[in-house]
Amino acid sequence: MKNLSIKRYVLNLFMMMIMMVSLSSCEVIGTIFEGGVIIGIIIAVIVIGIIFWLFRKMSS
């Protein structure tokens, strides 16, 4: 009976560790995607600015 209790404890501990690692991984991935969105917006604004500048240069 005591052996079953120890196995259950080890299993619960293992599951908690897996959940802690996987949840922190998701948080890291979420942060990377947030950074990617910000970089994407900055690049889009720069490209639109360059295109706008080229059209103004061509028209004058």
pLDDT at 19 over 80: no
Supply the DSSP string of 2-58, one letter for each residue: HHHHHHHHHHHHHHHHHHHHHHHHHHHHHHHHHHHHHHHHHHHHHHHHHHHHHHHHH
pLDDT digits (tens, 9 = 90+) for 34-57: 778 888 889 899 999 999 999 998
The CA distance from 33 to 41, in Å, is: 12
In this predicted structure, what is the pLDDT of residue 14?
A: 87
pTM of the predicted structure, to 2 decimals: 0.49
The CA distance from 26 to 4, in Å, is: 33
